[in-house]
Amino acid sequence: MHVAEREPEADFEPLLQLEMEMGTFLSDWHHCDQLSTFVARMISLNRTDPVRHSNFFSSALNELLEVLFRGGFPDGQIGCAVYRQGPTERVKLTFPCPPRQRHFLNEAVAKARRGDALARYLDSISTDLAPPRDAVLLDLTINFDALIHLEDSAPSSITLVVDLPLEGIVT
């Protein structure tokens, strides 16, 4: 894992943006997979290996959407925007976030950015217990080399920003 500075927003080209009522999103677990598959197919067409890129992006976005699904607040809207700069896709998920969820996300993002993220990730997946919800962010940091941060939105919302350098992933 490397620690890198995130690129300024102006350096990213907008690719796709969608909004959905949170109540509708939370009404069916399959929405996570459906949205991630749709978005991945739309943005992967002009990549070196579109199928591979789509699979990686869909997996990463699905995990992020599942974090929202598990801790989701049914009022308001979820917004998903995808941007690109070179080999990196930036996902911005904006969603209603009560104070308790905001605290969890702040801690989870901080843990994913710490130097012991790999050890914490390995520990979380090596037990018989279900991995904690913050393991998803650790997974993205370790396995996708993602940079993750939060932005404050409206007082009752938050934006999770994830930079995914998928075009540079070596398998």
CA dist 85 and 74 (Å) reads 33
- Decide: 97 and 74 in contact? Cβ < 8 Å: no
In this predicted model, which residue has the larger pLDDT, 125 or 8?
125
Would the pLDDT of 29 be above 70?
yes
Phi, psi (rounded to 5 degrees) for 155: -50, -30
Convert the pLDDT of each residue in 131-157 to its tens digit: 566 788 888 988 899 999 999 877 789
Residues 6+ apart with CB under 8 A from 83: 9, 12, 13, 14, 15, 89, 90, 92
Q: What is the pTM of this model?
A: 0.85
> H-helix or E-strand containing 151?
strand 147-152
Convert the pLDDT of each residue in 47-78 to its tens digit: 999 999 999 999 999 999 988 888 778 888 99
- Compute, in degrees rounded to 10, the torsion defined by CA atoms 43, 20, 163, 37: -40
CA dist 140 and 60 (Å) reads 7
Instruction: Return the minimum-mean-pLDDT range out of 19-23, 113-117, 143-147.
Output: 113-117
